[in-house]
């Protein structure tokens, strides 16, 4: 994965000072419902201010900057340019494939846009316009050369442009969640609590759906995350005709969790239980298991996605037994405080029948993928 970042760069002048910038950022976020915090918290929103002494620019990165829409970039640039009567540069980088820069000169309606890379997924972007950069860049031929060059990583162009406008190249990729490329004493961080949403009962969803059947003797995983409030108590069930008839069992069953940005595995013991219709299932439950709450929807999406990943609960298992029965395997995971928040994984769910699932699956497989992903209908019990 490449770099994603959205940041703002404010050119220093006699109307700028760091305390005024901090006050402005606090005021802006407070108006949006964010509450200043004395220190970082698990769901806190961060703002980083970078002010190298030998740079003409002060850089700001924030979890709240989202420049995927050009109007948001323009609005931010105009605001800070008017507030400090100075030139402002906004930058957005998408997976190191596409970089967009906007220069908003002080007291001038003209703006300068630079595009680096090919934005296949972002088709309608402003055209590059270099003339407003003239007063900042003494070497315009060099700027044109940088813009026209095909860069392996789009952010490399920004680092080169930074040198032309007397900015430290490391400021170009400033983001709140990345290791600091500049001395820590040059970076000030502010933390905020995101606005509180409505508390909902715990309810699970599956973030990534595995579309391939389980394999006998191979470790598999089903992961969920919570979209409601925090609670206690987790249940895991293995169900299906294969379980009821004792044709498939499960070994090395464990929870896969994230702890301090590393994987942790907790073995669990399945017990035979009975469903309301009389069929047998394999069940594990722990009334004291802590289920973390959903990540606040008011947190910007990049950080929200990462926090949701960190809170995922995975059930890892290795099926053993009759390989013809693996399509029957169903894994159900549910919060004990709200059994209606259950979610289940079955590979042919949504297709109606096992036969239709295999037909649809194989129809989507290209010739170059057949060796790995083609499913033989004769290898499974379909009826």
Q: pLDDT digit string (tens) for 283-330?
A: 999 999 999 888 877 677 777 788 888 899 999 999 999 999 999 999
Do the domain assignments include residue 145?
A: yes
- Give the Cα separation of 239 and 128 in Å (integer): 58
Q: Are residues 19 and 66 in the same domain?
A: yes
Q: 119 and 56, same structural domain?
A: yes
Say yes or no to pLDDT of 121 above 50.
no
Domain boundary among 142, 165, 193: 193
CATH number of domain containing 301: 2.60.40
Residue 87 included in any domain: yes
Q: How many domains does the chain have?
A: 2
Among 116-130, 239-253, 333-347, name the one with the lowest average pLDDT. Answer: 116-130
Q: Do the domain assignments include residue 383?
A: no
Q: Does residue 89 form part of some domain?
A: yes
Q: Is the domain of 223 the same as that of 81?
A: no
Report the range of poorest mean pLDDT among 87-96, 108-117, 299-308. 299-308
Residue 285 lies in a domain: yes
Cβ proximity of 142 and 164 under 8 Å: yes
Higher-pLDDT residue of 124 and 212 is: 212
Average pLDDT, the chain: 87
For 38, how many CA atoms within 13 A lie in the half-sphere containing its CB? 0
Coil, helix or strand at residue 82: helix
> In the numeric block, which tokens belong to residue 189?
């961080």
| Residue 352 located in a structural domain | no
Distances (CA, A) of 13 to 44, 63, 109, 348: 31, 26, 19, 63
Q: Where does the chain have alpha helices with state H?
A: 18-31, 70-84, 140-148, 155-164, 241-244, 301-310, 354-363, 370-373
> Checking phi first, is residue 58 left (phi over 0); if not, alpha (psi -120 to 50) or beta?
beta
pLDDT(119) > 70: no
- Helix, strand or coil for residue 329? coil
Q: Name the residue with higher pLDDT: 143 or 231.
A: 143
For the whole model, what pTM was predicted?
0.60
Residue 279 CB coordination number (10 Å): 13
Q: What is the reported pLDDT for 62?
A: 87
pLDDT for 367 equals 76
Residues 173 and 69 grouped into a single domain = yes
User: Which of the given ranges, 46-50, 196-200, 244-248, has the highest pLDDT on average?
Assistant: 244-248
Last residue of a domain, one of 144, 169, 193: 193
The encoded tokens of residue 357 equal 């699932």
Q: Is 163 helix (H, G, I), strand (E, B) or coil?
A: helix
Query: Residue 92's beta-bridge partner residues?
Result: 6, 100
Average pLDDT over residues 143-162: 93
pLDDT(123) > 70: no
Q: Are residues 332 and 266 in the same domain?
A: yes
Full residue range of the structural domain in which residue 342 is found:
204-347
Q: Are residues 168 and 211 in the same domain?
A: no
pLDDT of residue 283: 95
pLDDT for the residue numbered 104: 94
Mark whether 182 and 237 lie in a shared domain.
no
Q: Identify whether residues 103 and 148 lie together within a single domain.
A: yes
Q: Of 175-184, 246-255, 331-340, 367-376, which has the strongest mean pLDDT?
A: 246-255
Of the ranges 135-139, 179-183, 191-195, 275-279, which one carries the lowest mean pLDDT score? 179-183
Q: At what angle do helices 18-31 and 70-84 cross, to 10 degrees?
A: 130
3-class SS at 148? helix
Per-residue confidence (pLDDT) for residue 235, from 0 to 100: 94
pLDDT value of position 103: 96
Helix, strand, coil distribution of the chain in percent, nearest 5? 25, 30, 40
Q: Is the pLDDT of residue 86 over 90?
A: yes
The pLDDT value given to residue 284: 96
Residue 371 lies in a domain: no
d(CA 100, CA 73): 10
Per-residue confidence (pLDDT) for residue 60, from 0 to 100: 95
Q: What is the pLDDT of residue 181?
A: 62
Q: What percent of the chain has pLDDT over 70?
A: 93
- pLDDT tens-place string over residues 35-63: 899 888 766 788 999 999 889 999 999 87
Q: Are residues 109 and 248 in the same domain?
A: no
Burial (CB count <10 Å: 0-12, 13-18, 19+), residue 369:
exposed
Same domain, 58 and 97: yes
**158, 193, 228 — which closes off a domain?**
193
Query: Residue 136, by phi and psi: left (phi above 0), alpha (psi -120 to 50) or beta?
Result: alpha
Residues 183 and 208 both lie in one domain: no
Are 162 and 229 members of one domain? no
Residue 330 within a domain? yes
Q: Which residues contact 180 (CB under 8 A, 6 or more apart)?
A: 187
pLDDT in tens, 247-288: 999 999 999 998 877 899 999 999 999 887 788 999 999 999
Among 60, 95, 89, CA closest to 74: 89
| Angle at 63 (CA atoms; ends 17, 200), nearest 5 degrees | 135
With 90 as the cut, is the pLDDT of residue 177 above it? Answer: no
Could you give phi then psi for residue 305, rounded to 5 degrees? -65, -45
- 171: exposed, middle or buried (C-beta count within 10 Å: 0-12, 13-18, 19+)? buried
pLDDT band at 1 (very low <50, low <70, confident <90, very high): very low
């Amino acid at each position: 994965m490449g770099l994603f970042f959205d940041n703002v760069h404010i050119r220093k002048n006699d109307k700028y000072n760091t305390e005024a910038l901090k006050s402005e950022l606090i005021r802006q976020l407070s108006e949006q419902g964010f509450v200043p915090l004395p220190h970082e918290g698990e769901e806190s929103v961060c703002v980083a201010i970078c002010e190298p002494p030998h740079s003409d620019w002060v850089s700001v990165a924030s979890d709240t900057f989202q420049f995927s829409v050009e109007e948001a970039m323009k609005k931010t640039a105009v605001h800070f340019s008017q507030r400090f009567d100075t030139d402002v540069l906004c930058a957005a980088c998408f997976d190191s494939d596409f970089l967009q820069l906007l220069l908003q000169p002080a007291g001038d309606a003209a703006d300068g846009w630079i595009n680096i890379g090919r934005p296949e997924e972002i088709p309608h972007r402003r055209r590059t316009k270099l003339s407003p950069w003239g007063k900042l860049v003494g070497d315009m031929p060099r700027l044109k050369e940088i813009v026209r060059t095909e860069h392996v990583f789009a952010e490399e162009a920004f680092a080169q442009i930074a040198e032309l406008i007397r900015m430290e190249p490391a400021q170009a990729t400033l983001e709140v969640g990345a290791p600091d490329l500049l001395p820590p004493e040059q970076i000030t961080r502010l933390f905020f609590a995101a606005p509180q949403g409505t508390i909902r009962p715990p309810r699970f969803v599956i973030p990534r759906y595995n579309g391939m059947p389980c394999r006998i003797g191979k470790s598999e995983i089903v992961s969920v995350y919570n979209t409601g409030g925090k609670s206690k108590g987790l249940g895991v069930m293995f169900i299906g005709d294969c379980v009821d008839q004792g044709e498939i069992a499960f070994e090395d069953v464990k929870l896969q969790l994230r702890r301090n940005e590393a994987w942790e595995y907790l073995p669990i013991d399945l017990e035979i239980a009975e469903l309301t219709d009389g069929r047998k299932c394999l069940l594990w439950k722990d009334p004291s298991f802590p289920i973390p709450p959903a990540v606040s929807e008011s947190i910007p999406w990049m950080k929200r996605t990462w926090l949701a990943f960190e809170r995922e609960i995975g059930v890892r298992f290795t099926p053993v037994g009759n390989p013809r029965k693996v399509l029957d395997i169903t894994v159900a995971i549910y919060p004990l405080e709200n059994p209606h928040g259950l979610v289940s994984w079955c590979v042919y769910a949504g297709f109606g029948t096992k036969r239709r699932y295999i037909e649809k699956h194989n129809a989507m497989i290209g010739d170059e993928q057949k060796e790995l992903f083609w499913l033989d209908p004769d290898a499974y019990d379909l009826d």
